[in-house]
């Protein structure tokens, strides 16, 4: 994952900064609990306690114990790696 920038969920200001950049052409909704971005018909939510969920027309993803996110802004992607589970969200263009 050489092209990805590793961002711990505990570094909340960096998480929100990266998600805002990823949602450059979309919407951002932030609360005390977490941050959700919507780009086109896709959403990606991260909470401060490490819950991640994503919804796209053909699939969805949810994990409750995420400690680190991996961002690749050149590809408009954020990756979740948690044990044997892996998921990549790409903002629709």
Question: How high is the mean pLDDT of the chain?
Answer: 94
What pLDDT was estimated at residue 84?
85
Q: What is the pLDDT of residues 40-64, one digit of tens each?
A: 999 999 999 999 999 998 889 999 9
User: Mean of the pLDDT values across residues 73-78?
Assistant: 94
Q: What is the pLDDT of residues 27-42, one digit of tens each?
A: 999 999 999 999 999 9
pTM for the complete prediction? 0.93
What pLDDT was estimated at residue 58?
87
What pLDDT was estimated at residue 1?
64
Q: Which residues contact 73 (CB under 8 A, 6 or more apart)?
A: 5, 18, 21, 22
């Amino acid at each position: 994952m050489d092209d990805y920038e590793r961002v711990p969920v505990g570094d909340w200001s960096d998480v929100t900064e990266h998600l805002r950049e990823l949602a450059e052409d979309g919407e951002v909704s932030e609360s005390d609990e977490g941050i959700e971005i919507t780009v086109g018909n896709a959403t990606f939510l991260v909470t401060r306690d490490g819950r991640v969920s994503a919804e796209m027309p053909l699939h969805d993803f949810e994990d409750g114990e995420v400690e680190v996110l991996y961002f690749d802004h050149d590809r408009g992607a954020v990756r979740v790696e948690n044990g044997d589970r892996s998921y990549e969200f790409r903002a629709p263009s």
